Amino acid sequence: PYFRGNQVDLFGSVEDFVAPELREHIYVAFDFETTGLDPETDKIIEIGAAKIVDGKVTESFSALIDPGRPLSETITELTGITNEMLAGKPGIEEVMPDFYKFTRGSVLVGHNIAGFDMKFLQKNAVECGYWFENEILDTLTFARENLTGVPNYKLNTVADYLGVTLESHHRA
């Protein structure tokens, strides 16, 4: 493999290579599914996250969250999450402490998190008595700054461009 124009290891295996930046921090890649687009009125219904240490996923976090109100048909169609799936699940006030602990000391990573997910995260965290001061790495911003020849910077377009297969990009 080549890294910044220099060959990493002539005889080493590609699978063993970890970019130096991935060794500098612990990262938590996360995503939310919500009841809508407005953090003031809509609720988080799913959190999915993976902790990355030295370039490898070491832990995961997954929670369905009861928003305390029925989902719209549009959200169910978009996410595949149903009211029945959320019935009896914990509320955000029960999930937030665990998510806070899971992300403590990490760089938060996601696609469009600066414009969307962080707004939901901070609003809900404050209501639960937490404040996230983590550094963030928004892959949307990164893609806009570093990828050329991409028709748009939607997650599925960027993933296709990079050869990454998305299994279900409307689920956290």
Annotated active-site positions, please?
A: 170
The answer to whether residues 98 and 65 touch, using CB atoms and an 8 Å cutoff, is: no
Question: 107-110 and 27-34: which strand pairing?
Answer: parallel
List the strands of the sheet with 107-110, edge to edge: 56-64, 44-53, 27-34, 107-110, 136-138
* Closest C-alpha among 30, 27, 33, 69 to residue 52: 27
Nearby residues of 146 by Cβ (< 8 Å), 6 or more positions away: none
Cα gap 100→107, rounded to integer Å = 12
Cα gap 130→95, rounded to integer Å = 12
Q: Which amino acid is at 56?
A: K
